[in-house]
Chains A and B, each alone.
Chain A
Amino acid sequence: GAVVSQHPSWVICKSGTSVKIECRSLDFQATTMFWYRQFPKQSLMLMATSNEGSKATYEQGVEKDKFLINHASLTLSTLTVTSAHPEDSSFYICSAPQGVSGNEQFFGPGTRLTVL
């Protein structure tokens, strides 16, 4: 199956700094990628949809100025958490649809962010 990678797999940063997380589709092109957030012992919640060549769309309650998304190419989307705070500590997972109908979703392995 198709492979989606994320980098870094884990990151620890100080409060107030910015962190960039990369999501790459390794063997297919993805015009759309999705970013999810998973707090401890909770489910995955969609944060935003990353669209190649256009602005990302954000779910209600997600601050677009805090979570900057850039779909730089057909294989790369980045999520930048700006001025991170401890409450942003979470597991961030991206996915990319692939296949004839676009509904074969392939998930990255996730990025664990800890903000001190």
Chain B
Amino acid sequence: AQSVTQPDIHITVSEGASLELRCNYSYGATPYLFWYVQSPGQGLQLLLKYFSGDTLVQGIKGFEAEFKRSQSSFNLRKPSVHWSDAAEYFCAVGARGNTPLVFGKGTRLSVIA
């Protein structure tokens, strides 16, 4: 069965510090991987996605993620966090074709001055 694990429920970082959010997946085939961000009461915004090719993926707002097949991971990183990055982050996995996504439980990011 497909599953996504985000081990960290809540992370607090200082503004300007680097960030890494962890994501591990379990999937039987080549996965399509996504990171979304959600602000309170809002919908999802796609940060980046990985389908194939270069395993280091660049996204919006200065985020990047690296696909590591050997570790079944797709961790999200940002070199310098801004206060506006405080939100809930979801990792998701999907398959080729018109299939739904499976989401992790999310990681809440707090940013302190």
Contact = CB atoms under 8 A, between A and B. Distances in A.
Given A103-B51, A107-B44, A46 B100 contact: yes
Contacts of A103: 32, 51, 94-99
A43 B98 contact: no
B44 A32 contact: no
Interface of A: 31-32, 34, 36, 42-46, 49, 93, 95, 97, 101-105, 107-110, 112
B100 A95 contact: yes
Given A42-B105, A103-B51, A109 B96 contact: no
A112 B38 CA distance: 14
A104 B34 CA distance: 10
Contacts of B98: 31-32, 97, 102-103
Contacts of A101: 51, 96-97
Contacts of A32: 98
Contacts of B105: 42-43
Nearest to A35: B100
Contacts of A105: 34, 94, 101
Q: Size band of the B side of the interface? A: 20 to 34
11 contacts: A36-B100, A43-B103, A44-B103, A46-B101, A49-B100, A93-B43, A95-B100, A97-B99, A104-B49, A105-B101, A110-B44
Interface of B: 32, 34, 36, 41-44, 46, 49, 51, 90, 94-106
Nearest to B105: A43
A110 B43 contact: yes
Nearest to A49: B100
A112 B34 contact: no
Contacts of B32: 103
Contacts of A42: 105-106
Given A44-B103, A105-B101, A108-B43, 19 more contacts: A34-B100, A42-B105, A43-B104, A43-B105, A44-B44, A45-B103, A46-B101, A49-B100, A93-B43, A97-B98, A97-B99, A102-B96, A103-B32, A103-B51, A103-B96, A103-B98, A105-B34, A105-B94, A110-B43
